[in-house]
Amino acid sequence: MTSFNEKPPPTADELPTTLAAERQLARTSDEDSSEKKDEQKTEAKDEDDKEKTGSFADFWRIFRYTDRLDRILYAIGIGLAIAAGAALPLMTLVFGQFTTEFTKTTSGNGVASDFRSTVNQLVLYFVYLFVGRFCVVYISNVCVSIAALRTTRAVRYAFLDSTLRQEVWHFDKESNGSVSSQVTTNGNRINQGIAEKFAFIFQGLSLFFSGFIIALAVQWKLALIVMSIVPAIFVVVSICISIDAVHESKITRIYSKAGVLSQEAISSIKTVHAFWAHEKMVRSYNEFLQAAREIGKKKSPNYGVMFATEWFCVLSGTALAFWQGFRMYASGEIESVGTVINVVLAVTISATAMSTIAPQIQALTNAASAASELFSIIDKPSQLDPLSPSGEQPTTCQGDIQIRDLSFTYPSRPTAQVLHSLNLSIPAGKTTALVGASGCGKSTLVGLIERWYEQSEGDILLDGKPLSYYNTQWLRSRIRLVQQEPVLFRGTIFENVAKGLVDSQTTLDPGKQKALVEEACVASNAHGFIQDLPDGYQTQVGERASMLSGGQRQRVAIARSIVSNPQVLLLDEATSALDPRAEGIVQDALNRVSVGKTTLVIAHKLATVKAADNIVVMSYGRIVEQGTHRELIKLDGQYASLVRAQDLGSTSGDAADFSKEENDLEMSRTDTLQRTKTEPQTAAEAEIDHLASGTLGYGLVKCIWIMLTEQKDLYFRFFLSCVACLVAGGTFPAQALLDAHLINVFTISIDEGRERADFFALMFFIVALANLFAYFVVGWICNEVGFDYEFT
């Protein structure tokens, strides 16, 4: 006996790819096979190779999405950031003056009353500078943040617009990741790179240059000597930033893939449960985390080298400045200790500005790579732009479809031809049914008529003209599709049905639109249950229309498809996901709405197609038989075998036979259905709210404590890390102590002072070495335990 399952088991290539979870499950099961693993690795590598790193041009291009207001905000924000940067080195002038006055008085060379008034004056300068800087930084951040949000929104909009214009086969590629994750993750990365961090770079640069300018203006010779530390810092920081940018962008990509995986798993949680796939999912997710960790481990030593070198240079530069400064003071080249302090502070502030710029540059490179990913879609020309205005839009459409020598291969699977030289007539106003084994190409044919794909060979003619002759939007509003899994959008029932309105219908007044929507709902058997809902047509359907039953969803979807009165209806397994009762009601609706229209029906259940004007039997992408039910039974070929296999004599499950009474019965149940549906939904929402509320009330300290107690084998490394952190942190008070001693040196006799200056400068150098060592150790331990460098 022949059945629909006569086809040999599908190869891996032929597995259906509809459900994200099934795809994911297939992917995770494949991972069990080492051969497949190797293939995947190669694919992943190819993909990685193709990954864009983002250039300065990409970053710069983000600003092309700014409007006039954004540009004004950026100009204000950056201008103020530059002012804020310059304010800090100005403080070194005040501080230098303060030190001079102080040492003058303590060494008995100044008048106490003069000192007091000078100090008052200098303190006031400090206050002015601090308040001014506070205001300037605040306004700068606000302006830049607002401009960044607006710009990111514009980039996201352009990305979504281009994505929606892409041809359908663009979405067949798994490497695209989910669009929502691209918009969210890459949008956030862009926003981070063009907001406060962007302004901070200008602040840092202004700090860097103004510090040097002030130092050179105050004492150019000493300034140049101290500046000898800058090239070393510059080289090391630049190398470390470049290395870190590469690591960071790899990690972000891995996290984004992990995000897509978790999103798929959560959105298909029932399938995950049903297939007991938790472990595989968690394992796959863990593989991503491990990969991110491996790369992350390289970041800490890199930071260790960067900060260790930077602070070593700064501290040893300070030692050098005091050592040389005292000699210049002794020879009369420098008049006061204030000059030395001024130069030292200005140069060290400038030098350290480089490392504060470093993390911001990383945010910039991240933004550039995120932008390059979004731009690669924005720039991608669509070979079949559904929103393009080109193409003819005739005023009438007969709905006659002729298929000639049609062959097709999916672009994403070029080695497997799906349709082979198909010839078929789908006459206007008649019902044509497509039947055949799963995977024989029925839905593919529907996809080609909808113009989701371009045929490889042959033609599909609508009213004698190839589909490419018509405007795509016009075509899709004349050929409406009803699929197995109806997709409704968040919003009211009215809004969902009204989405099907086309052309002049969209500009009708609300009353007329309402009448059209109601008419369509009456025709699709949906009006009755909608009226019984508490808010009628204004009822919210909820996320993925979860507040409606499968049959109700399908009838609303049918209403949406027919509200524009299309000439052609494509019904792809429109009732197969429903239980027999709902199927009967929906089938009844379909029978009514398809009267007088060209209808192409795909159905596995032959009872639903036996009344069709022409039944076409497909096998392996070819038409093997066609005719009416009676003719095909007489022929006693494949169709007859299928009929026997399904035992059409039995009335059970014969959807078309459901009576009007049963329809009414279902409608009377609607109210109950609605209520029982709503309650679990509310409970689910409460559960989501509870989960969204976060961390079971654990505070930061408790979280850190749990983390530490779970990592007992790392205690020794924690201990070492604490010691190293204490040493690294301790160098700053030690520096303050040494500074005080070195300032004192300027208040005693030259001979005695020289000896002490040498000693304390040496001590400074030793502190610098301790600091260098401590930062290295912290970097190494972070690498070992997998901590973020900043955490320590």
Give the footprint of ligand ATP on this chain (CB under 6 A). 14, 17, 172, 410, 412-413, 418, 438-444
Q: How near is the Cβ of 572 to ligand ATP at its closest, in Å?
A: 7
**Residue 325 or 441 having the CB closest to ligand ATP:** 441
**Residue 221 or 413 having the CB closest to ligand ATP:** 413
**Residue 11 or 34 having the CB closest to ligand ATP:** 11
**Residue 17 or 628 having the CB closest to ligand ATP:** 17
**CA-to-CA separations, 119 to 102, 115, 342, 382, 580, in angstroms, rounded:** 9, 6, 16, 70, 92
**Residue 483 or 735 having the CB closest to ligand ATP:** 483
Q: How near is the Cβ of 675 to ligand ATP at its closest, in Å?
A: 35
Q: How near is the Cβ of 636 to ligand ATP at its closest, in Å?
A: 23
**CA-to-CA separations, 464 to 183, 253, 478, in angstroms, rounded:** 42, 49, 15
**Residue 37 or 413 having the CB closest to ligand ATP:** 413
**Residue 427 or 439 having the CB closest to ligand ATP:** 439
Q: Which residue has the tokens 């040493």?
A: 727
What's phi and psi for 32, nearest 5 deg?
A: -65, -30
Cα angle: 425, vertex 427, 430; to 5 degrees: 125
**Residue 412 or 672 having the CB closest to ligand ATP:** 412
Q: How near is the Cβ of 171 to ligand ATP at its closest, in Å?
A: 9
* Full strand arrangement of the beta sheet holding 598-602: 479-482, 568-572, 598-602, 431-436, 614-619, 622-627
Q: Strands 479-482 and 568-572, how do they pair?
A: parallel
Q: How far apart are the first and last CA of the chain?
A: 72
Q: How near is the Cβ of 438 to ligand ATP at its closest, in Å?
A: 3
How big is the chain by its Cα radius of gyration, in Å?
Answer: 37
Q: How near is the Cβ of 575 to ligand ATP at its closest, in Å?
A: 14
Q: How near is the Cβ of 518 to ligand ATP at its closest, in Å?
A: 33
Which candidate, 353, 98, 322, 96, places its Cα nearest to that of 210?
A: 353
**Residue 201 or 601 having the CB closest to ligand ATP:** 601
727 and 774 in contact (C-beta within 8 Å)? yes
Q: How near is the Cβ of 442 to ligand ATP at its closest, in Å?
A: 4
Distance CA 206, CA 9 (A): 69
Q: How near is the Cβ of 158 to ligand ATP at its closest, in Å?
A: 26
DSSP E strands, 16-143: none
Q: Strands 457-462 and 431-436, how do they pair?
A: unpaired
**Cα-based torsion angle of the residue sequence 79, 85, 90, 91 in order, rounded to the nearest 10 degrees:** 130
Q: What is the DSSP letter of 10?
A: P
Q: Strands 614-619 and 479-482, how do they pair?
A: unpaired
Q: Which residue has the tokens 């992917």?
A: 27
Q: How near is the Cβ of 412 to ligand ATP at its closest, in Å?
A: 5
**CA-to-CA separations, 245 to 18, 113, 580, 596, in angstroms, rounded:** 37, 56, 59, 63
Helix (H) / strand (E) element for 150: namely: helix 112-165
How many residues belong to the chain?
A: 792
Q: What does the block give as tokens for 791?
A: 């955490």
Q: How near is the Cβ of 576 to ligand ATP at its closest, in Å?
A: 9
Burial of residue 209, with CB atoms counted within 10 A of its CB: 0-12 exposed, 13-18 middle, 19 or more buried:
middle
**Residue 286 or 438 having the CB closest to ligand ATP:** 438
Residue 637 is which amino acid? Answer: G
**Residue 413 or 702 having the CB closest to ligand ATP:** 413
What's phi and psi for 342, nearest 5 deg?
A: -60, -50
**Residue 438 or 678 having the CB closest to ligand ATP:** 438
Q: How near is the Cβ of 560 to ligand ATP at its closest, in Å?
A: 22
Which candidate, 439, 446, 479, 451, places its Cα nearest to that of 601?
A: 446
